[in-house]
Amino acid sequence: MSRAAVLAGLGTYVPPRVVTNEELSRTLDTSDEWIRTRTGITRRHWAGPGTATGDLAVEAGTRALKSAGSGDVDLVVLATTTPDHPCPATAPEVASRLGLQTVAAYDLAAVCSGFVYALASATGAIAAGIAERALVIGAETYSTILNPEDRTTSVIFGDGAGAVVLRAGDPDEPGALLGHDLGSDGSLKDLIIVPSGGSRQPVAAAGTSGARPADSYFSMQGKPVFRHAVTRMAASSQAMLDRAGWAAETVDWFVGHQANVRILHAVADQLGMARERTAVNLDRVGNTSAASIPLALADAVTGGLITPGDRVLMSAFGGGVTWGSTALVWPEVAPG
């Protein structure tokens, strides 16, 4: 029997500062009503000066290891769009701060699909015998790349981190990831982009005013992203259902990337799933990109929605563009 990756621990963290729609409406030409009705978001958490993605990742990682009942892992994969530095990767320092000296550790960049990609990557390492136990983290501080003057992005994104522990196990035990569907379409890379700061366009010098250059901020073309997110998440979810041999109506919980409640409902509709089966926490945390799915998972488990034995389908869409899905039967795991 082949080795499966089995979910054995779950932990999350959001920074304490809550930013409400009302607060954003004071500095941006927007309103609580617009944000709530167009996205479903009422508030989000922003980290603030001095706190980096790695700090949130360490908090979530600590909780996931506690939930797993063991600090023993030999691989750390950190999915993030907002690493602490362009170089080196954030994962080795996070591993070190978690007391995991000398383990394999790397970052993975797939924007909002990052966590699903990281699950697949760690699963591959476990299946190949490269790792026995992996800590997979999605962590973001989008507040550091949002243009405070851009109402189309500032109202949507939040900071946070979520992590799971995967261990080697059997494909038929609860918690085993039942396969992965991943994809990308790089011809659409401009839909979600931070234009400068990479090798194509190194950081521009600040103007004489000292202001941060506009092209160093995150930008997004909301409307086409919305359309592609629905189409790709629905198709990827269906591919994953086919792989797992599950009919859509037998799924207990759809844990989709928390970008917009209208996207989640449209995907559920396309799959023929009841909208009530969709886990939603974006109202309280916004879009936390790579942290989104583990935060939504933990929220649904803590809230008593997802219980052991439930069939859980996860799907994400993000910059790149990228998308991916996976599924599992929920094991006896409570967030740490």
CA-wise closest residue to 112 among 328, 312, 289: 289
Closest to ligand COA by CB, 158 or 336: 158
CA 116 to chain centre: 7
Residue 20 binds ligand COA (CB under 6 A): no
Closest to ligand COA by CB, 42 or 302: 42
The window from 32-40, 118-126, 132-140, 243-251 that contacts ligand COA (CB under 6 A) reads 32-40
Residue 79 binds ligand COA (CB under 6 A): no
> Catalytic: which of 21, 260, 281, 287?
287
Closest approach of ligand COA to the CB of residue 66, in Å:
30
Query: Is 180 a residue of the active site?
Result: no
CA-wise closest residue to 144 among 187, 94, 198, 83: 83
Closest to ligand COA by CB, 38 or 66: 38
Is the N-terminal amide bond of 321 cis, ω within 30° of 0? Answer: yes
Residue 39 binds ligand COA (CB under 6 A): yes
Closest approach of ligand COA to the CB of residue 70, in Å:
33
> Is 169 within 8 Å of 176 (Cβ atoms)?
yes
Q: What is the DSSP string of 231-297?
A: HHHHHHHHHHHHHHT--GGG-SEEEE--S-HHHHHHHHHHHT--GGGB---HHHH-B-GGGHHHHHH
> Catalytic: which of 21, 45, 112, 281?
112
> Is 289 within 8 Å of 153 (Cβ atoms)?
no
Taking CB under 6 A as the criterion, which residues in 107-146 touch ligand COA? 112
From 61, 162, 318, 324, residue interacting with ligand COA (rule: CB under 6 A): 318
The window from 68-76, 169-177, 257-265, 276-284 that contacts ligand COA (CB under 6 A) reads 257-265
> Catalytic: which of 228, 257, 260, 281?
257
Element at 222 (helix H, strand E): helix 222-244
Q: Which residues contact 189 (CB under 8 A, 6 or more apart)?
A: 319, 320, 321
Say how far apart CA 225 and CA 216 lie, in whole Å.
20
Closest approach of ligand COA to the CB of residue 52, in Å:
21
Closest to ligand COA by CB, 135 or 146: 146
Taking CB under 6 A as the criterion, which residues in 161-190 touch ligand COA? none
CA-wise closest residue to 60 among 74, 47, 48, 49: 47
From 121, 144, 237, 260, residue interacting with ligand COA (rule: CB under 6 A): 260
Show the binding pattern over residues 274-303: x = contacts ligand COA (CB under 6 A), - = does not. -------------x----------------
Residue 47 buriedness (CB in 10 A; 0-12 / 13-18 / 19+): buried
CA atoms within 13 A on the CB side of 328: 26
Residue 152 binds ligand COA (CB under 6 A): yes
From 3, 36, 38, 265, residue interacting with ligand COA (rule: CB under 6 A): 38
Q: Which residues contact 169 (CB under 8 A, 6 or more apart)?
A: 3, 4, 5, 6, 175, 176
Query: Is 287 a residue of the active site?
Result: yes
What residues line the site for ligand COA (CB under 6 A)? 30, 34-35, 38-39, 112, 151-152, 155, 220, 222-223, 225-226, 229, 259-260, 263, 287, 317-318
Active site residues per annotation: 112, 257, 287
